[in-house]
Amino acid sequence: MVNLPLQPRYILPPLCLMALSALLAALNLNDVLEFNRQLIEQGQVWRLLTSQYVHANWPHLGLNCAGIILIWALHAEHTKPTQYALHTVFLAAWCGIGIYYFCPDIRIYTGLSALLHGVIVWGAIKDIDAGMKTGILLFIGIWLKIAYEQLNGPSAEVGKLIASRVAIDAHLIGAIGGIVLALPLVMTYLKKRQA
């Protein structure tokens, strides 16, 4: 039997993230919040952070909400609400800044997918630290997915669904952010192994 983490402390943070993104979509705030390189260069630096929470369309939001639910099912018990919020804000800023500096061809960007790649990498490392062998499989799996995207390019089908090109380099940046976020876990794990 599957034992899902249904306690409020586990279910409220991902619900709040989905609700925030849905509210921003309903209010149609992309023009004010999306990553727009030209406007960021003119001083609208908040877009580096806020762009992660808005989406190209409702199917785009739906795909990212499915990702949030998957990560919740896998890793909700690893974080407290405050930690969840700090992780998502750190990764949103990390991804926005990373896209700005390392993806000059990305002029417009929206969506949680880069951030979610970071969250799932952090969760896989947390699984490994907790002694769960599935963490190793998840860690390898997410990097295989990213390698596949880098070698084969973005999915045309997903791009058509979300009416936007899938930003595979943003996924890579997000996953690297997950490793950065997990550095304290990695250091603890390595110390335990040496002891």
Residue 98: the pLDDT is 98
CA 189 to mean position of chain CA atoms: 23
Average pLDDT over residues 141-159: 94
Superfamily of domain 8-194: Rhomboid-like (1.20.1540.10)
> Using CA atoms, how far apart are residues 72 and 174, in angstroms rounded to an integer?
17
Q: Give pLDDT tens digits for 98-134.
A: 999 999 999 999 999 999 999 999 999 999 988 898 9
Residue 176: which residues within 8 A CB-CB, separation 6 or more? Answer: 98, 118
> Using CA atoms, how far apart are residues 158 and 77, in angstroms rounded to an integer?
30
Single-letter amino acid, residue 186: V
Residue 1: the pLDDT is 54
